[in-house]
Chains A and B, each alone.
Chain A
Amino acid sequence: MSNIWTITKRELAGYFNSPVAYVFLVIFLLMTGAFTFLLTQFIENKQATLRMFFYWHPWLYLFLVPAVGMRLWSEERRLGTMELLLTMPISLWHCIVGKFLASWIFLTLALALTFPIWITVAYLGDPDHNMIFTSYIGSFFLAGAYLSITSMTSAFTRNQVISFILSVVICLFLVLCGYPPVTDNVEVVAPRAFVEFVAAFSVIPNVEQFNDGQIDSRSIIYFLSVIGFPLFATNVIIRGLRA
């Protein structure tokens, strides 16, 4: 455990030693605010709910999360520090989990900094605080799922841009395969059972559960597996690089 934490600490320090972290936090907050207030007209709706705020997260994270995670392993490969790291007396798993946790903590910080909107909505009306809390949990898991996929794509390549694009594409699939406007159209040409099978992989219905105020064990298992599998794949890819 202490090994994982050592790696996590270094990665986190890496974010904050460069201006990238601060630029990202500002952009993250601007974007979540802009989407909520401008695109879905939070004020004009006159409803004491953050549903519109969380509605955008699967889409916003599509770009913001890969931007945070794209350097995880590709940077190690580009700098050659992977050789240093993997000849230290720690297991590859510790490195993978440590790095993943650092990015996840960073994203959680960004998410936590959106707290003024919670205060705002509580000041203006009487929202369902339980629902807001579970929505935050859902958003937290969503970030973890995208991030884990980015960890995998960053192990593929030493180029951060390629890592970013690959990750966006895979995450986009996870969004679209359960997004009603898409599934409704696919249902015309494909059997319903197939569409439902594919849709079961989507993040959307699972995030919706949290946004509806429910913590469903199935959704938690879904997110844990979407986090676990790419991390496992990261391990396989890095082992493959060295063989």
Chain B
Amino acid sequence: MIKVENLSKAFGTKVAVDDVSFSVERGEILGFLGPNGAGKSTTMRMITGYIPPTAGVARVGDHDVTENPIEAKRLIGYLPESAPLYTDMTVEGFLGFCAEVRGIKGADKAKAIDRAIEMCFLEQVRQQSVDTLSKGFRHRTCFAQSIIHDPDILVMDEPTDGLDPNQKHEMRMLIRRMGQSKAIIFSTHILEEVEAACTRAIIIDQGKVVANGTPDELKAKSELADSYLVSVSGAEAAAVRDKLGTIVQAAKVTLVNDKAPNIVARVFPKKGGSNGELGQAIFDTATQNNWKVSEIKQEEGRLDDVFRNITLSETETK
């Protein structure tokens, strides 16, 4: 549904987006990750036709956004970063305007407004003027605008920004529900959101795509991925480290806590080894040495680690 090919954008001499390519199909929810100023918003603005690309093509449906902007924009629902609204209108009036601009008239318009209001829980502020709304309601009103025409494609720039935890949860549920039948791109810098809602994630840094995969694939890139965290008592810290270090499948052992009674060690596996074997070996070592194991747990890897590693190392090399 969305196909981005070698998209670049330069503002003067500053390159904001540099040769970015990816695609999103129906049923996919793509999480767009990156530090502030990485080029997330600029990329989204090029996809939605707000700013023209310096080079490359953004294709929406079958339409090139630059050459056929009106047709492309018809397919897209867009939630800009600041969730802008016309402050001199009521919620219903604003949604009505957006529907009309999108060519929804008469009875269909009333139906579309009702549907959007219901989906975004806006019933209680329906007749209220936009400038008296709280931030959460404003955000949801702008979101309602983006789904008023039930688009095939949704582009959302930080959809959960400024929402309280409950609203964030609702928003993620909504995104997931709609992701079943639409192609969705949303940007965020909250990593748990990616795990909660995305089928795929792209990390973008300094205008370049630096990682692209499912949340699980990305997590596997973490150093901590598949390492074991072991808590033992009745042992010396140094002994624990040395003994665990002798395990064949272990690459490295670090001590997370070296104060008795509860010593916590992290055991990193060798690349390509079987996970179950390492866990079993740790357990055997502990029994042989008469340590009391209070906890043994395998790490999945953490997205924020991956995110930090990728984006920081890029910055440092520059």
C-alpha gap A83/B45 in the complex (Å): 9
Residues in B with CB closer than 8 Å to A87 are 48-50, 73, 76, 78, 80
C-alpha gap A81/B52 in the complex (Å): 18
Chain A residue at smallest Cβ distance from B54: A243
Tell me if B189 is interfacial: C-beta within 8 Å of chain A: no
C-alpha gap A139/B101 in the complex (Å): 32
Tell me if A30 is interfacial: C-beta within 8 Å of chain B: no
- Bits for A3-37, please: 1 = Cβ < 8 Å to B, else 0: 10011001001100110000000000000000000
Residues in B with CB closer than 8 Å to A180 are none
C-alpha gap A28/B88 in the complex (Å): 22
Tell me if B287 is interfacial: C-beta within 8 Å of chain A: no
With contacts A87-B73, A242-B50, A242-B52 taken as known, whether A79 is within 8 angstroms of B102 at the C-beta atoms is no
Contact status B70-A86, CB under 8 Å: no
Q: Among residues 123 to 160 in chain B, which have CB atoms less than 8 Å away from a CB atom of chain A? A: 129, 142, 145
Tell me if B98 is interfacial: C-beta within 8 Å of chain A: yes
Q: How large is the interface on B (under 10, 10 to 19, 20 to 34, 35 or more residues)?
A: 20 to 34
Tell me if A88 is interfacial: C-beta within 8 Å of chain B: yes
Q: Mark B residues whose CB is within 8 Å of A.
A: 45, 48-52, 70-71, 73-74, 76, 78, 80, 82, 84-89, 93, 97-98, 100-103, 129, 142, 145
Ranked nearest first, the 8 interchain pairs of A and B with the lowest CB-CB distance are A80-B84, A89-B73, A89-B74, A87-B48, A242-B51, A81-B84, A6-B100, A83-B80
Q: Mark A residues whose CB is within 8 Å of B.
A: 3, 6-7, 10, 13-14, 17-18, 79-81, 83-84, 86-91, 242-243
Seed contacts A10-B97, A87-B48, A88-B102; 20 additional CB < 8 Å A-B pairs: A6-B97, A6-B100, A6-B101, A14-B88, A17-B88, A81-B85, A83-B45, A83-B80, A84-B80, A84-B85, A84-B145, A86-B50, A87-B73, A87-B80, A88-B101, A89-B101, A89-B103, A90-B70, A242-B50, A242-B51
Q: List 18 A-B contacts (CB under 8 A).
A: A7-B101, A13-B93, A17-B89, A79-B86, A79-B87, A80-B80, A80-B82, A81-B86, A83-B45, A83-B84, A84-B78, A84-B84, A87-B76, A87-B78, A89-B73, A89-B102, A90-B70, A242-B52
